A = this chain, B = another copy of it.
Amino acid sequence: MAAKIFRVNMSDLSTSIEEVPAAWAGHGGRGLTSTIVAAEVPPTCHPLGVNNKLVFASGLLSGTPAANSGRLSCGAKSPLTGTIKESNSGGSSAQLLAKCGCKALIIEGQPKDDAWYSLAVTPEGVTITKEAEVVGMGNFAALEILDQRLSAKQGIIIIGTAGEMKMRSANISVKDPDGNLRSGGRGGLGAVMGSKRVKFISIDPKDGKVEIADMDKFRVANKAFAKSLIDHPVSQALGTYGTNVLVNIINESGGLPTRNFTKGQFDGHEQISGETMHDLIQERGGKVKHNCHAGCVIQCSQIYNDVKNKYKTSGFEYESIWALGADCEIDNLDQIAEADHLLDDIGIDSIETAVAIGVAMEAGVLEFGDGEGLLRILTEEVAKGTGLGRIIGGGAGDVGRAYGVTRVPVVKNQAIPAYDPRAIKGMGITYATSTQGADHTMGYTIATNILGVGGSLDPLSKEGQVELSRNLQIATAAIDSTGMCLFIAFAALDDATCLPALIDLLNACYGIELTGDDVTNLGKSILKTEHAFNLAAGFTNQDDRLPDFFSVEPLPPHNVVWDFSGEEIDTFWNF
């Protein structure tokens, strides 16, 4: 039975199951969420109003045994950026949703009362139920209760108190196979879920399965695909040190934004590095290697225990550690882990919130390096929704506006993550041109600028960066549609067997005959759909710019500035 569209209308509390329109059939993941948002959401609507829609879609290969195919896409008009938005995460929900026969779950409207609700998804459709018990709870307490109430195997998609308070950096979390959380972090989609008054969504596929057209061909392709992933050296580094392997690498490059983007190297980098983390994890009986969804062969996650050898956090990512660490000049990894845990519990984007606190540090709200102060702000201000907490929860741009700070590292109001665009220029092009505000995952030029994957391109030179970012953004849009983790890109860029194996997986699954060109064209068309939405929402090429300060403040140690003209940036869209 072909997968269907499951639709929930929170205005009249009705649900329906619909056939997939022909125009949506070839889409999954980000391609599908963006296609649906572009088709059904008025571009100029208020992101927290009745006309926005929240769309969840598993990838084209989610729910199959394909390696690394368990990413869940969530899309809407973003309350943080005002652009179209897709944020994806691991966890078990993408696979379970696919097994329910749900190609996309569309949540629209808003309740007329002040009640909260939960949604239960099964192969029969969606049930809406009033919810009170876990409302007002942090994610971990809520998850504990839900694990008792529901069978442990069910998928859970949930918002924390930040989402309930409609903070514009609120994220959406997804339960992982170990009962911990993964988050679709960027762009405040948790606030959209909060505006629909949906606290959580449970997913129970019962005995549902995803059909595969040609299982023999699929198995052969999957074996080749998985081998290609496992063999790549970056995959191996990720499995050993996690993404946090990057702290020392990016520090060495001079592009590790430090002290609210005033320096490119952090004196405390060793203390917060992947290598230090690896040793601490081993000392404390954690796990250095761990998967965020079933079938992942890279396993970049880890279990980080505290000093008493008790679980503290997992999916402890480089970008969060950078933001809480170097950007706030905090060099205590346990404080950073505690903050990461609190952010997961509150349900708020760790990158946006930590960069916001870096800006607040510049404003004098607290001192750089004050890790205890940062934890206090998270627990006493953000979690409680005080005035200051609301400002921080609104993201880095809001902090800049509230305190009159001009050094505010955002594009389209979304915080720039862990790679300084002055010293790693390809990332600057990605931040400027991404359809979703500053986001490293949209076109990760670090691969070629720093890691020597897919060739090599001097990060300090302007030459070739627009083309690099464009090619990666196109590829990323396609990968985000398959349900694949973006980290397959390293193997795909270097190993000639990887991408054909992925295409074989798609063809075997659906009984179709996609070519490499089809996949590239898919990526291009997704970008164009997203860009058209933004233009209709009132964005112009003036929004595809980095903040002033990058052009006038040289970044040590290379003492480089951002030196792309607007015209040069705008050539990105020549495709």
CB of B548 within 8 A of CB of A542, answer no
Chain A interface size band reads: 35 or more
Nearest-CB distance from A391 to chain B (Å)? 6
- How long is the Cα–Cα vector from A477 to B227 in the complex, in angstroms? 70
The 24 sampled A-B contact pairs (Cβ below 8 Å) are A44-B548, A45-B548, A46-B406, A48-B406, A50-B552, A51-B548, A165-B403, A166-B404, A167-B404, A168-B401, A194-B404, A195-B404, A387-B387, A387-B389, A388-B390, A390-B391, A390-B402, A390-B403, A393-B402, A398-B398, A398-B402, A538-B542, A538-B543, A540-B540
Known: A388-B387, A538-B543, A540-B538. A404 touches B49 (CB 8 A): no
- Across the two chains, which residue of chain B brings its CB closest to A47? B406
Interface residues of A in 191-220 (CB under 8 A from B): 191, 194-195
A177 within 8 A of B: no
Q: For the A-B complex with A46-B549, A50-B552 known, give 6 more contacts whose Cβ atoms are closer than 8 Å.
A: A44-B542, A48-B406, A49-B549, A387-B387, A387-B402, A393-B402
- How long is the Cα–Cα vector from A542 to B538 in the complex, in angstroms? 5
B-contact bits for A58-102, CB 8 A (1 contact / 0 none): 000000000000000000000100000000000000000000000
Chain B residues contacting A389 (CB-CB under 8 Å) are 387
How many copies make up the complex?
2
- How long is the Cα–Cα vector from A547 to B545 in the complex, in angstroms? 26
A41 within 8 A of B: no
Nearest-CB distance from A349 to chain B (Å)? 15
A254 within 8 A of B: no
Cβ-defined partner of A394 (8 Å) among B49, B401, B536: B401
Cβ-defined partner of A542 (8 Å) among B391, B406, B537: B537
Chain B residues contacting A552 (CB-CB under 8 Å) are 50
CB of A48 within 8 A of CB of B168, answer no
CB of B398 within 8 A of CB of A548, answer no
Nearest-CB distance from A137 to chain B (Å)? 19
CB of B547 within 8 A of CB of A46, answer yes
A381 within 8 A of B: yes
- Across the two chains, which residue of chain B brings its CB closest to A388? B387
CB of A401 within 8 A of CB of B404, answer no
CB of B547 within 8 A of CB of A404, answer no
Interface residues of A (CB under 8 A from B): 44-46, 48-51, 79, 165-168, 191, 194-195, 381, 386-391, 393-394, 398, 401-404, 406, 536-538, 540, 542-543, 545, 547-549, 552
CB of B548 within 8 A of CB of A403, answer no
Chain B residues contacting A537 (CB-CB under 8 Å) are 542
Nearest-CB distance from A544 to chain B (Å)? 10
CB of A381 within 8 A of CB of B390, answer no
Known: A381-B387, A543-B538. A401 touches B398 (CB 8 A): yes
Chain B residues contacting A394 (CB-CB under 8 Å) are 401-402
- Across the two chains, which residue of chain B brings its CB closest to A389? B387
- How long is the Cα–Cα vector from A202 to B168 in the complex, in angstroms? 43
Chain B residues contacting A191 (CB-CB under 8 Å) are 404
Chain B residues contacting A402 (CB-CB under 8 Å) are 387, 390-391, 393-394, 398
- How long is the Cα–Cα vector from A356 to B163 in the complex, in angstroms? 22
Give the 3 A-B residue pairs with the shortest CB-CB distance, closest first.
Answer: A166-B404, A387-B387, A538-B542
- How long is the Cα–Cα vector from A552 to B11 in the complex, in angstroms? 15
- How long is the Cα–Cα vector from A505 to B229 in the complex, in angstroms? 82
- How long is the Cα–Cα vector from A168 to B389 in the complex, in angstroms? 19
Chain B residues contacting A398 (CB-CB under 8 Å) are 398, 401-402
Nearest-CB distance from A374 to chain B (Å)? 15
- How long is the Cα–Cα vector from A165 to B191 in the complex, in angstroms? 29
- How long is the Cα–Cα vector from A401 to B401 in the complex, in angstroms? 12
Chain B residues contacting A542 (CB-CB under 8 Å) are 44, 536-538
- How long is the Cα–Cα vector from A547 to B45 in the complex, in angstroms? 8
- Most chain B Cβ neighbours within 10 Å, of A389, A393, A406, A547: A406
- How long is the Cα–Cα vector from A465 to B79 in the complex, in angstroms? 33
- How long is the Cα–Cα vector from A549 to B49 in the complex, in angstroms? 9
- How long is the Cα–Cα vector from A215 to B204 in the complex, in angstroms? 89
Chain B residues contacting A166 (CB-CB under 8 Å) are 403-404
- How long is the Cα–Cα vector from A388 to B402 in the complex, in angstroms? 10
- How long is the Cα–Cα vector from A220 to B49 in the complex, in angstroms? 59
- How long is the Cα–Cα vector from A168 to B381 in the complex, in angstroms? 22
- How long is the Cα–Cα vector from A552 to B386 in the complex, in angstroms? 31
- How long is the Cα–Cα vector from A386 to B388 in the complex, in angstroms? 7
- How long is the Cα–Cα vector from A168 to B403 in the complex, in angstroms? 9
Cβ-defined partner of A165 (8 Å) among B401, B404, B536: B404
Known: A44-B542, A398-B402, A542-B44. A49 touches B387 (CB 8 A): no
- Most chain B Cβ neighbours within 10 Å, of A51, A387, A388, A394: A387
- Across the two chains, which residue of chain B brings its CB closest to A542? B538
- How long is the Cα–Cα vector from A174 to B370 in the complex, in angstroms? 42
CB of B545 within 8 A of CB of A44, answer yes
Nearest-CB distance from A51 to chain B (Å)? 7
- How long is the Cα–Cα vector from A46 to B409 in the complex, in angstroms? 12
CB of A406 within 8 A of CB of B548, answer no
- How long is the Cα–Cα vector from A165 to B194 in the complex, in angstroms? 32
Chain B residues contacting A165 (CB-CB under 8 Å) are 403-404
CB of B46 within 8 A of CB of A548, answer yes
- Across the two chains, which residue of chain B brings its CB closest to A49? B406
